[in-house]
Structure 1
Amino acid sequence: MRKTLRHWSLATVLALVTAVPAPAAELLDGIVAVVNDDVVLLSDFQQELEQVRAELDRRDIAPPPAEELRRQVLERLVVEQLQLDEAERRGITVDEATLDTAVRRVAERNNLDLRGFRDALQREGMSMADFRDRLRRQITIQRLRQRVMDERVNLTPQEIDQFAERIAEDQEEFRLRHILVAIPEAASAGAIAEAREEAEALRRELTEQGTDFAALAAARSDGRNALEGGDLGWRRAGELPSVIAERLSGLDPGEVSEILRTPSGFHLFKMEDRRDAERHIVTQTRARHILIETNEVVSDRDARLRLESLRERIVGGESFEELARANSDDQSTASEGGAMGWLTPEEIPPAFQRRLAQLQPGELSRPFRSSAGWHLVEVLDRREEDATDTYRRNQAAQQLRQRKEEEETELWLRQLREEAYVDYRLEELEDAAV
C-alpha cells in the first residue's frame, strides 16, 4: 500500500514538480477514482505521476512498467484521500497562520525569501496556491497520524528501561531497502499462501535473476517507501521489530534477506551497508546569567538598558553573583548567583545557544533577547563530554515509539483501505481518450 507523502522542501519541489503535459489538457477534469464520497481527479493523478517519475530519475532508480507505476501512484492518492477524509471526520484542520509559518520555514531552509520561493515554484510549473494546498494536506495527515498513534501506541516505563538497555548494547546501524507483500486483515489461509508465493517469486527475481532491488520495490512493494525504491535509510537494530532485527544481523552488504513474516505481511530486506553507531560527544558550557523579563510595565528597551547598566558595573569590578541575586528574574538560578550549571545544546533555546557559542570562557555578553526575556550571560568554562549513555537513554522512548508507530501505521492504513469504497476509473478515461 502506498501511503507516505513526501516532506515537501524546495529541493524536492524543484526535483519533482513538472507541469501536466499539454496533450492531456482536455481531460484535466476527469475522475480517476471514487473514494467513499470523494474523488481523485485526473489532473492530480497526472501531476503526481510526473513527480514520481522525476523522483525515481533523481534517485537513479529504473521506473516500473508504465501500468505498474500508474497503479502504484493511483493507490498512493487513494490512501492519501482516505486519510484526509478521516482527518475531516475528526475535525483536524490547519489554520492559515500555521500554514504561513510552514511555508516560510521551507523557504528559509532553502535560503530564499517568499518572493524568491514563489518565483522558483513558478519556474517549475507550480503556483504558490498549489504548493500551499499540498503542504496543508501533508500537515493535516501528519496531525491525523499523530492523533491515531497516540490512541494506539502506549509505552510503559518498564518497556522504555528494557529498550534503553538494548540500545546500550546495540552498536550497529543498517542501511536498508525494503519490499512488503501485504496481507489483508483476518486474511484467509489461501490469501496468506498467495502472498507468500508472491514474496518467494520476488526473492527469486532478486537472487537468481539479479533484478535491481530498488526498481522491484518501486514496481511491486506494498510498503510506504515503495516509490522511493524501498529506501529506509539508516536504522538501528533496536528500531526494527525484534524478529526482523535478529534475522538481519547476519547479512553482509549487498545481501537480500530471507522472507520475513510480521502482522503486516511478508518482507524482504536488502542490506545496503552497515556501520558502527557513532558515539555522541557534546560540547557542554558552564555559564551564569541575569534575566530581565518584559511585561506591561517593563518594555524591551527598559530591560536592555537595565542590563547594559548591570554589565558596566560587572566590568567595573562588582560581583556578578551579587547582582544576579539582586536583579535576576530567573528564580531557579538567582539564588545561586545566576549559575546555570553545565548546559548541553539540547537543553537551551536556539537564540540562547547561538549567543553562548559566540562567547569564550571568561567573556561577558552584551544584552540579548530570547523567548524568556533579556539576558546578560557570562561563559565560565567549556568541556567535551561523552554523552553516549545519556543520549541512548534519552532516545530509547523515541525509538521504541517510532518502531511501534511504524507497525501500527501499516496496520491502521491497511484497515482504512479495506473498509473504504473505492471505484477505479482510470482505464475508462484512457479508453475514452483513444
Structure 2
Amino acid sequence: MGTKFLLRPPVLLAMFTAGIAIAQQPAYSSGIQSIDHIVAVVNENVITRNELDEMLKTAVKQLEKQGMQAPSRAVMEKQMLERIIVNRVQLQLAKETGLTVSDTELDQTIRRIAQENKLSLSEFHSALEEDGISFNKFRNEIRDEIILVRLKEREVNNRISVTEGEVDNFLHTQENSADSSEYRIAHILIQLPEQADAIKIEAMRQRAEAALAQLKDGVEFAKVAAEFSDASDAMQGGLLDWRPASQLTKRFADYVTPMKPGELSSIIQSPNGFHILKLVDRRNQNEAITMVDQTHARHILVKINELTSEGDARRRITDLKERLDNGGKFDELAKLHSEDASAASGGDLGWVSPGDTVPEFEHAMSALKDGEISGPVQSPFGWHLIQVIERRSQDMSKERQRQTARQAIRARKADSAFQDWLQRLRDRAYVEYRLEEG
C-alpha cells in the first residue's frame, strides 16, 4: 500500500512504563540546591540547569533500576547535555517544518500508556502526582517523543527501500551459512564527528582504548558503556536485541561469530567511529512452523496535511461513517474518497498480520467483529474507517522469513542512515556551551 502505515514506528511506551515511578530526589551527587541558569544555547533556544538536573535524576533512576552504578557527575552531565542538544535540534526542525501532534492523538497515547500499566486514566494521574511528576510535563514529554518518532520516520525511514532481490540475497546468505545461531551483543560506540581530522580521530581512538582498558580490568560493561558510549542505548548498557549473523554488518559478524559468551572484541573502526563489542549470549534459531492469526481488512483514509487540517479530516471521515451507516457501500466510498493507494481496490489491505500496522490501527481493528465497521480512528497518517472482512490462522513460515529479512535489511539501512542524518543535523546547529558558568 502507498501510505506506509505498515511500517510500525518504534514503541514509545517502554521508557514510560519502565520509569513511571521516577521519584523526586536531590540533585545527583550534590547536597546543595543549584541556581537555575543557562548551560547551553542551541540555535535560538536555551537549555537551563534545571532541565539538565531533571534529565540527570531520571537517568540515575534508570541506572539504579538496572542495578548499575552511575558514572561520575561530570561524565553524566556531559552525556545528558549532549542528549538534550540532539533532541532539541530535532524538535526545532520538526517545528520549522510544521510537524505536530494533535491533542486527540496525544490523549489516545496517554490512555494506552495507562492501560499498559494496568491503570485507569484517573489512577495514572494519581500515580504521577504521588511521585511528584507534573501531568502537564509528562504530557509534553510524550508529545515530544511522538514528534521525534515521526520526524525520524519522515526524514529517514520513509526514504529507505528494500528490493525483493535484496531479500532473496539475504535469505540465500542465511541458508548457505553454516552458522544458524542468533547473537545477543552489547556495544560501545565512540562516534566520530563529520569530517573529523587526523587529530580528532586519534583522540577518539584513545578514548576507545581507555574504555577497552577498563573492560579488561574487569569493570562492568554496562558501566563503561554508560560512561564512554555515544550510542543512544548507552544508559541501557549498550545491549542490542537478539539477531542472526546475517543481520550484523560483515565487519561485526567477522568479530562476533568466533567469540564465546562473555568475550570482548578488540577496537573496531567503522565510518561512524570506534566500536567495542561484547558477546553476551548465543542461541540456535527457532525454525518451527509459524501459525499466525491474520485479519482481512479494508479501510478508508483521510490524510492530515497542509491542505487538510485535523478538524477537517475528522469531519470528512465522520461524514463518510454516517453514509456507511445509512447503507453506503464501503468499497465504492473508498474508491471515491480514500487517500491511500489501496483506494483503487476499494480500500482492501489483503491479509494483515499482527505487528504489520501502527498500534492505533491494530488496536481498533482487533476490537472489531467480522463485517463490523469502526468509528473514526486516528493514526500518524490521518483518520481511518476500518472494516474487518474475515479472519484466519495461517502458516506463515516462508512469508515470515521474508518479512523478517525485509525488516532486518530495512533496520540496518535505517540505523546507519539515521546516525548519518543526526550527525549532519547536529553539526549544522549553532551550539554554545555554558556548563561551567554559574
- Any conservation in 2 of the 1:286–1:343 contact (CA below 8 Å)? yes
- Any conservation in 1 of the 2:181–2:283 contact (CA below 8 Å)? yes
Counterparts of 2:145 and 2:235 in 1: how far apart (Å)? Answer: 17
- Any conservation in 2 of the 1:203–1:268 contact (CA below 8 Å)? yes
2:260 is equivalent to residue 252 of structure 1:
yes
Deviates more, 1:346-355 or 1:163-172: 346-355
Question: Which amino acid in the other structure matches residue 158 of structure 1?
Answer: G
Residue 189 to residue 93, structure 1, CA distance change in 2 (3 Å):
same
Name the residue aligned to 2:250. Answer: 242
Give the 3-state SS of the residue equivalent to 1:250 in structure 2. Answer: coil
Counterparts of 2:50 and 2:412 in 1: how far apart (Å)? Answer: 36
Normalising by structure 1, we get a TM-score of 0.75
Question: Which amino acid in the other structure matches residue 214 of structure 2?
Answer: E
Give the 3-state SS of the residue equivalent to 2:276 in structure 1. Answer: strand
Give the 3-state SS of the residue equivalent to 1:206 in structure 2. Answer: helix
Name the residue aligned to 1:232. Answer: 240
Name the residue aligned to 1:202. Answer: 211
- Any conservation in 1 of the 2:19–2:62 contact (CA below 8 Å)? no
Residue 158 to residue 44, structure 1, CA distance change in 2 (3 Å):
same
Counterparts of 1:180 and 1:296 in 2: how far apart (Å)? Answer: 55
Counterparts of 1:222 and 1:150 in 2: how far apart (Å)? Answer: 21
Name the residue aligned to 2:22. Answer: 16
Residue 418 to residue 27, structure 1, CA distance change in 2 (3 Å):
same
Residue 127 to residue 19, structure 1, CA distance change in 2 (3 Å):
farther
Name the residue aligned to 1:272. Answer: 280
Name the residue aligned to 2:406. Answer: 397
Question: Which amino acid in the other structure matches residue 83 of structure 2?
Answer: R
2:120 is equivalent to residue 113 of structure 1:
yes
Residue 48 to residue 165, structure 1, CA distance change in 2 (3 Å):
same
Question: Which amino acid in the other structure matches residue 400 of structure 1?
Answer: I
Question: Which amino acid in the other structure matches residue 427 of structure 2?
Answer: E
| Structure 1: segments with no counterpart, 5+ residues | 304-327, 332-340, 357-364, 430-434
Name the residue aligned to 2:7. Answer: none
Question: Which amino acid in the other structure matches residue 59 of structure 1?
Answer: Q
Name the residue aligned to 1:388. Answer: 397
- Any conservation in 2 of the 1:256–1:270 contact (CA below 8 Å)? yes
Counterparts of 1:256 and 1:120 in 2: how far apart (Å)? Answer: 42
Equivalent residue runs for 1:116-127 within 5 Å: 116-127=123-134
Counterparts of 1:136 and 1:351 in 2: how far apart (Å)? Answer: 21
Counterparts of 1:355 and 1:102 in 2: how far apart (Å)? Answer: 20
Name the residue aligned to 2:271. Answer: 263
- Any conservation in 2 of the 1:182–1:222 contact (CA below 8 Å)? yes
Q: Which residue of the other structure, out of 138, 155, 159, is the alignment partner of 2:145?
A: 138
Q: CA deviation at 1:422?
A: 1.5
Q: CA deviation at 1:199?
A: 1.6
Give the 3-state SS of the residue equivalent to 1:231 in structure 2. Answer: coil
Larger Rg: 1
- Any conservation in 2 of the 1:179–1:223 contact (CA below 8 Å)? yes
Name the residue aligned to 1:413. Answer: 422
- Any conservation in 2 of the 1:107–1:113 contact (CA below 8 Å)? yes
Q: CA deviation at 1:92?
A: 1.3
Name the residue aligned to 1:191. Answer: 200
Question: Which amino acid in the other structure matches residue 114 of structure 2?
Answer: A
Give the 3-state SS of the residue equivalent to 1:34 in structure 2. Answer: strand
Deviations 1:155-178 (A, max 9, x none): 333223212333455632221211
Residue 125 to residue 26, structure 1, CA distance change in 2 (3 Å):
same
Residue 232 to residue 268, structure 1, CA distance change in 2 (3 Å):
same
Deviations 1:281-334 (A, max 9, x none): 443679999xxxx9646649x99xxxxxxxxxxxxxxxxxxxxxxxx9889xxx
Name the residue aligned to 1:425. Answer: 434
Residue 6 to residue 286, structure 1, CA distance change in 2 (3 Å):
closer
Name the residue aligned to 1:104. Answer: 111
Q: Which residue of the other structure, out of 223, 231, 239, is the alignment partner of 1:215?
A: 223
Name the residue aligned to 2:339. Answer: none
Counterparts of 1:394 and 1:226 in 2: how far apart (Å)? Answer: 29
2:32 is equivalent to residue 62 of structure 1:
no
Name the residue aligned to 1:88. Answer: 95
- Any conservation in 1 of the 2:21–2:127 contact (CA below 8 Å)? no
Counterparts of 1:389 and 1:230 in 2: how far apart (Å)? Answer: 32
Deviations 1:52-87 (A, max 9, x none): 000001111111112111111111111111111121
Question: Which amino acid in the other structure matches residue 397 of structure 1?
Answer: R
